[in-house]
């Protein structure tokens, strides 16, 4: 059984007299800064020059500094910029300004696991990886609940790194839900695998293939959208509540029988063998190298793939249909976020 920690297992007093520098104020950054602040922790936000987030963070009453200044003030420095920029951000703006005994925190193990960042021996290296998007991490905290997280320590220079990590997770609200002990390697490899093979890559391509199959057979795109995409959330909610068994219990016997006989025709031995190949590319660093090389070159492959994804016919149909859903507030959020990007 995994080691799981809850509120009583973590002591916020470990963060007393310590200042937490949150570098970045995006999806995770705003949630960490605000949740910690509301938990009574001293927080300073570090942002790049000319950042459009300065005003947003100040509006919330947060102290905002340059990345260099915030780092210099931080007893804990949590790096919440995108993974692909962390390497140069760390080398150029963070490392030269770190207190000699500052603890360095991450929300994903990527840069430590693949050695893009190699902090010197005096620093604790800690991980608090929330298992949810930043906006949910903030919203659940505000409503009195928490988002679960997984935590790890790669380097325990102070001898207190685990206590510090648990305290941080408590300030974030994560120990309200439960926090599981892991390692940087396990977190990084399983996170990348989950998002590639199942959650993002697997699901989005499964939806697209289902949509293509129905529309190519002459069915209306609007109907296809409902059948292979819209209802997915309802199914996933049931799985989230009570596992696959609850989902099968709730849907019709016809659907359940179809699940058993047809599911294995879609997800075959070949699919699993592809999953093993994906995992092996993650484990041996092939995926990381490809991602970072493309990013370093200005992201030509990434940009082209994003444009191709956005041009898929299901996106157009979905945009029109979602306008019908007056109850679907998230549709507007998405459109705003989309325009900003």
Residues serving a catalytic function are 108
Return the structure tokens found at 127. Answer: 């991980």
User: What is the rounded distance in angstroms from the CA atom of residue 105 to the CA atom of residue 202?
Assistant: 30
User: What is the rounded distance in angstroms from the CA atom of residue 4 to the CA atom of residue 16?
Assistant: 24
Q: Report which of 75, 69, 39, 38 is spatially closest to residue 54, judged by C-alpha positions.
A: 69
Instruction: Please give the DSSP secondary-structure letter assigned to residue 298.
Output: T
Annotation-wise, does 250 bind a ligand?
no
Annotation-wise, does 195 bind a ligand?
yes
Which CB, 73 or 191, lies closer to Mg ion? Answer: 191
Q: Is residue 119 part of the contact set for ligand NDP (CB under 6 A)? A: no
Q: Is residue 130 part of the contact set for ligand NDP (CB under 6 A)? A: yes
Q: Are the C-beta atoms of 226 and 317 separated by less than 8 Å? A: no
Core vs surface per residue 304-322: b (16+ CB within 10 A) or e: eeeeeeeeeebeebbeebb
Residue selected from 12, 85, 203, 299 as contacting ligand NDP according to rule CB under 6 A: 85
CB of 22 to Mg ion, least distance (A): 19
Which CB, 44 or 81, lies closer to ligand NDP? Answer: 81
Angle at 231 between CA 229 and CA 236, to 5 degrees: 100
User: What is the rounded distance in angstroms from the CA atom of residue 252 to the CA atom of residue 235?
Assistant: 12
Annotation-wise, does 231 bind a ligand?
yes
Residue selected from 7, 63, 73, 83 as contacting ligand NDP according to rule CB under 6 A: 83
Q: Is residue 107 part of the contact set for ligand NDP (CB under 6 A)? A: yes
CB of 56 to ligand NDP, least distance (A): 8
Q: Is residue 96 part of the contact set for ligand NDP (CB under 6 A)? A: no
Q: Is residue 24 part of the contact set for ligand NDP (CB under 6 A)? A: yes
Touching ligand NDP, residues 247-306 (CB under 6 A): none
Q: Are the C-beta atoms of 155 and 49 separated by less than 8 Å? A: no
Spatial CB neighbours of 338, under 8 Å, sequence gap ≥ 6: none
Q: Binding-site residues for substrate, please? A: 252
Q: Binding-site residues, please? A: 25-28, 48, 51, 53, 134, 191, 195, 227, 231, 252
Contact positions toward ligand NDP, by CB under 6 A?
A: 24-29, 47-48, 51-53, 80-83, 85, 89, 107-108, 129-130, 133-134
């Amino acid at each position: 059984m995994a080691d799981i920690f809850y509120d009583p297992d973590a002591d916020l007093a470990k963060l007393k007299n310590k200042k937490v520098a949150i570098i970045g104020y995006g999806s995770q950054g705003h949630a960490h800064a605000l949740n910690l602040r509301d938990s009574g922790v001293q927080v300073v936000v570090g942002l790049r020059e000319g950042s459009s987030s300065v005003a947003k963070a100040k509006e919330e009453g947060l102290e905002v500094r340059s990345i260099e200044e915030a780092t210099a003030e931080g007893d804990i420095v949590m790096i919440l910029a995108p993974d692909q920029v962390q390497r140069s951000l760390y080398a150029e703006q963070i490392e030269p300004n770190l207190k000699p005994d500052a603890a360095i925190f991450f929300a994903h193990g990527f840069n430590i696991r693949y050695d893009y960042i190699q902090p010197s021996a005096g620093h604790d290296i800690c991980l608090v990886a929330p298992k949810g998007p930043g906006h949910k991490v903030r919203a659940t905290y505000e409503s009195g609940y928490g988002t679960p997280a997984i935590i790890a320590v790669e380097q325990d220079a102070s001898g207190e790194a685990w206590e510090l990590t648990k305290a941080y997770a408590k300030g974030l609200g994560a120990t309200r839900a439960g926090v599981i002990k892991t390692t940087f390697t396990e977190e990084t490899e399983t996170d990348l695998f989950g998002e590639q093979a199942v959650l993002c890559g697997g699901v989005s391509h499964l939806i697209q293939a289902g949509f293509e199959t129905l529309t190519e057979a002459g069915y209306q795109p609007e109907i296809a959208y409902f059948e292979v995409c819209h209802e997915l959330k309802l199914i996933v909610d049931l799985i989230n509540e009570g596992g696959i068994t609850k989902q099968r219990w709730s849907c019709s016997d016809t659907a359940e029988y179809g699940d058993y006989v047809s599911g294995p025709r879609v997800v075959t031995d070949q699919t699993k063998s592809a999953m093993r190949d994906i995992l092996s590319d993650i484990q041996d660093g092939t995926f990381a190298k490809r991602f970072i090389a493309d990013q370093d070159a200005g992201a030509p492959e990434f940009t082209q793939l994003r444009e191709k994804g956005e041009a898929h016919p299901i996106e157009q149909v979905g945009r029109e249909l979602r306008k019908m859903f007056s109850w679907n507030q998230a549709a507007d959020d998405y459109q705003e976020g989309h325009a900003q990007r």
